[in-house]
Amino acid sequence: TMAASPHPNERARPLHALAATTRPKLLSALPVRPLTLGSGEAVFSVRFSPRGTRLAAAMDDGSVEVLDTTGATAYPLGYNLGTAEKLPMMSVRFLDNDLVLGVSSSGSIHVWNAQANTQVHSADHEHEFYCADANTTLTTAATKYVLGGKNGVLQVYDAVQHRLLIALEDSDQVGNTFSIKMHQTYTDTCLTAGWDGGVRLWDLRSGQVESRVHGPHVSGDAIDADENTILTGSWIENAQHALQLWDIRNTSAPAKDVPLGTTGSAFLYAAQLTPTAIYAGGSGTQDIRVFNRSDLSLRGCGPLAASLDDHGVALAAAVAPAHPVHALHADPTGKSIAAAGRLRAVLFYSV
């Protein structure tokens, strides 16, 4: 089973129940995209394509759905059929504008062509996968992708032939890897994190851990990095230290806390860093929060709250319960952000 799943006692709460949380300006909501595939009840990962024209969502029943962000269509990319019991699809990434990578906690790897709606690669492994990332950029296709999961093993794959290049282990790691990130600037550096209270910076050339950040307790897609900055989002109650920035040149230096702007709990599952903004969401805030990167001020928030009628049309969020945020991703233009969680829909907000 998947250890990074939301706490079983997590439930949607009415918005008025969050009154103790300081709510800043609400982000402008864009049309809700209902997810119709399979019987899944939660989304664990969302990702825009490099051009921002598609968004992939990984669900707890092993399904992956791709949304056309330029219109209203959605189509499935299949199920994890390698196991008798459908286990969660934990992470999705685009290898280019068409190819979608999905990994499952059953140990399966899938690659689909979203344009043709066909599967181009599938493999089953004994290793359980909880997270994935690729070195895809806005203009170039991925040449490598990296997977993390049970017992902290880091696997590096060729993104064209889908063959395993190297498997790396750190004898000091205790537990599983729940978040993995290929550095945007230092392309031979990969970051991994989990529940053992730290972030590892791997040198993929030497296969060694070159440095560590001590402290973060990571439970989802909640680490990011560009140039000399590392962002971590921790699944902890203390909102004061849940969202933090670190200097990659001196990982032993104290972190810079990003004020969440709440007196309640944090429990962050997702975080992202862009040149102008920082994004975070979790089961404590039950919303996505957007911060200006320049001064770390809180720009706004968007509750993961929507009710859908029989036709998939969103009803007023004011009467809908707020849900835990499991995943978020900003589109390449930085104009909107997608968020999902224990709700059979992807919500979009203008930022």
pLDDT in tens, 206-231: 999 999 999 999 999 999 999 999 99
Sheet holding 177-182, edge to edge: 177-182, 189-194, 198-203, 208-214
The dihedral through the CA atoms of 22, 292, 278, 200 has a sign that is negative
Any idea what DSSP says for residue 126? S
Q: How confident is the model at residue 72 (pLDDT cuts 50, 70, 90)?
A: low
Band of the pLDDT at 263, cuts 50, 70, 90?
confident
Residue whose C-alpha is closest to residue 321's, from 337, 303, 338, 339: 303
- Is the pLDDT at 314 greater than 70? The verdict is no
The per-residue pLDDT of the chain, averaged, comes to 85
C-alpha Rg value of the chain to the nearest Å: 18
Question: Residue 10: which of 56, 41, 33, 39 has the closest Cα?
Answer: 41
Share of the chain above pLDDT 90, in %: 59
Is the pLDDT confidence value at 1 over 50? no
Lowest mean pLDDT among 140-154, 165-179, 268-282: 165-179
Query: In angstroms, how far is CA 203 from the centroid of its own chain?
Result: 23
Is pLDDT above 50 for 291?
yes
Q: With a cut of 70, say whether residue 341 has pLDDT above it.
A: yes
State the average pLDDT over residues 303-322: 58
